[in-house]
Amino acid sequence: MSTPFRPTAMARATAAAVALSALPLSTLAQAIDVLEPIVITAPAMTTPLETRFDPRAPQQPLPANDGASLLKTIPGMSVIRKGGTDGDPLFRGMAASRLNILVDGEHILGGCGMRMDPPTAYIFPDTFDKVTLLKGPQTVLRGPGGSAGTVLFERQATYFEEPGWRFQAALTGASAGRHDEVLDFKAGTPLGYVQGIATHAQSGDYEDGDGRTVHSAYQRSSLTATLGWTPDRHTRLELSALDSQAEAAYGDRSMDGSVFDRRHVGIKFEKSHIGTVLDKIEAQWFENDVDHVMDNYSLRTPPASTGSYMASNPDRLTTGGRLAVTLRPNDRHKLVLGLDQQDNVHTLRKSGMGGELAVSYASQRRTEDARFGNLGLFGEVTHLINDQQRVVGGLRQDHWEARDQRQTLSSGMMSLGANPTAGQRRDERLTSGFIRYEHDLSPATQALIGLGHTQRAPDYWELIGKEGANSTSVFDSLRPEKTTQLDIGLTHQSGPWQAFVSGFVSQVDDYILIQTNVVKPSGMGTRSTTIARNVDARTWGAEAGVHYAFNPQWKGQASLAYVQGDNETDDHALGQIPPLESRLGLDWDNGTWTAGGLLRLVATQHRYATNEGNIVGQDLGRSSGFGIVSLHGGYRWSPSTTVSVGVDNLFDKTYAEAISRGGAAVMGYEQTTRVNEPGRTWWLKLQVNLE
């Protein structure tokens, strides 16, 4: 693959990957029963479309504290760092609503207009049983958008053949005063079950490799309760409720998140093995209420002037539902038909004139600034050509609407006057679909090629949170994004070998670009603002990896991920595209003791578009390449108890991801170009699983 990068970290990564793949097969390898890794460093694709792994397993780098930090182990996945938690995940350089995040089938939409709380901020990884990444626009079953892919965080249903219980607990300790605790208890009979999950996590400010403290402390906790009725093993009615709270400091902005409260209630019904044609019915309804407060005094040194105290309190209420049926008219066809629906209302209140101490945000009336609705109809069919070949296709039609409820507009502390699109309503009909051919080339090798198209409506942060190039509102002019993508993939699992490769080429018409530092006239002078505008773009790239068991105890792995993006309208690079990355790992496991290491190599990013990107962040210029070494070990105390230890960034290197946010001027902290990653970090994780 030809790239414009210099052969520094890239060349070393490629040479090591080739050397690993050239090693001879061991005669003992055919008898190896490969165990799941005790520490996840780079999960392999399980099919040419999916990457799936256990979120409860320790991972390196440091075991995850939220959904984004969990996903960054996947080749091709990156995270925009803002502080110690609540980063935004990107897959193949695409973020936000281009990457669907579903939690047990539900969409969670954050409230912060400055993207403090992406959906993954409300995810506690140790409370889920399975995480799946579906690459590209290759499904229509999981809601609108998702042009880059779809991530599913799921809890597996449990049917108790006889009365029983299960208890799981995890304790993590790490540098910077971090500690996480998780308790998960489930008990049931053949008629039903109850489950309770409690989590707590907190950390102080971490230090980068040069010993500079990064404003990054956080605290998070949650309580989840589930009640299930199972009259038989193929029927489940489940009620769930969740309450979570958090606070987080940020090194990339002038305010912190002093409140992240989420309330959830939901009901889910599933019945399978119904009849010869009607095989399964699924129904779901949920409500998520996110209440968020950001201010500039609770988690940092307050301003010297009391009149400069500021607070803002956005809130978003999201309700939704889904109904789907699975039909099997014969042995060669499976058809899934259904509909899903979602409504959300965003409100805001903030400090009055004179600052928070003069007129508190809590005394203000909540004002609705936007509401959105979406109704989608979908169908997906699988046709078995024969035992080795399949064709899968799907079609989706969405009716999207939005209403601009803002009467006036402002930019920071500056009033922009009346909203030119106040009270306006938008309706769009959006069509998505795909067709995919899958072929089992042998019992060990699977291949696919698929063509997908998806149309994505502008989200809140693009439509309401930004201005237009020629107007203070972009509500009436920002067009939906239309992505057409070709995906290919190949997986091979045989004896000691496990290998995968996936590639894509994507054409995006009306790509929604976010551009900062745009100068506009203001009175007798000018002002700088952020706008959203449509451009045409093209992206392409690939991920590849190999896992190889040298013998029953030693395993090696290597992966590469690369993506390139071009802004075809402006004839330059597309912003917020991560550089080439490679991971090389070696693990030893004798059934009781484990040890291993990970080398992560990231190339210099020469292709960038300063001040351009997405709703999360914009390019800041050229970024340097780096190499990070991490080590881990573990001990299986018993079948139910394991302990894992590790050190990340062993050589205490100072570095930042190319896509990360710019460092802000926070009193008492040194400002950096980007928010730097943690320096040397020690960690330990203890897990107990009793049944």
The predicted pLDDT at position 33 comes to 33
The predicted pLDDT at position 115 comes to 93
Domains of the chain (ranges; CATH) run 9-690 (2.40.170.20)
The predicted pLDDT at position 524 comes to 83
Q: What pLDDT, in 10s, does the model give residues 585-625?
A: 999 999 999 999 999 999 999 999 999 999 999 999 999 99
The predicted pLDDT at position 410 comes to 87
pLDDT confidence of 36, banded at 50, 70, 90?
A: low
Residue by residue, DSSP assigns 610-645 as: BTEE-SS-BB-S-B--EEEEEEEEEEEEETTEEEEE
Dist. CA 402–CA 426, nearest whole Å: 5
Does 544 have pLDDT greater than 60? Answer: yes
Which two tokens mark 415?
């009033």
What is the chain's length? Answer: 691
Which two tokens mark 174?
């790490």
Instruction: Give the side-chain half-sphere CA count within 13 A for 586.
Output: 9
Question: Per the confidence metrics, is the pTM higher than 0.85?
Answer: yes
Which two tokens mark 483?
């992505």
The predicted pLDDT at position 15 comes to 36
Q: What is the four-CA torsion angle of 412, 416, 418, 419, rounded to 10 degrees?
A: -70
Beta carbons within 10 angstroms of residue 19's beta carbon: 12
Dist. CA 239–CA 225, nearest whole Å: 8
Q: What pLDDT, in 10s, does the model give residues 280-326?
A: 999 999 999 999 999 999 999 999 998 999 999 999 999 999 999 99
Q: What pLDDT, in 10s, does the model give residues 643-670?
A: 999 999 999 999 999 999 999 999 999 9
The predicted pLDDT at position 411 comes to 82
Q: Are 90 and 576 in contact (CB under 8 A)?
A: yes
Does 348 have pLDDT greater than 60? Answer: yes
Which two tokens mark 211?
């010993």
Q: What pLDDT, in 10s, does the model give residues 126-164?
A: 999 999 999 999 999 999 989 999 999 999 888 999 999
Does 531 have pLDDT greater than 60? Answer: yes
Dist. CA 298–CA 343, nearest whole Å: 32
The predicted pLDDT at position 62 comes to 87
Residue by residue, DSSP assigns 249-315 as: -BSSSS-EEEEEEEEEEEEEEEEE---SSEEEEEEEEEEEEEEEEEESSSSSPPPSSGGG--EEEEE
Which of 187, 218, 188 is closest to 203 using CA atoms?
A: 218
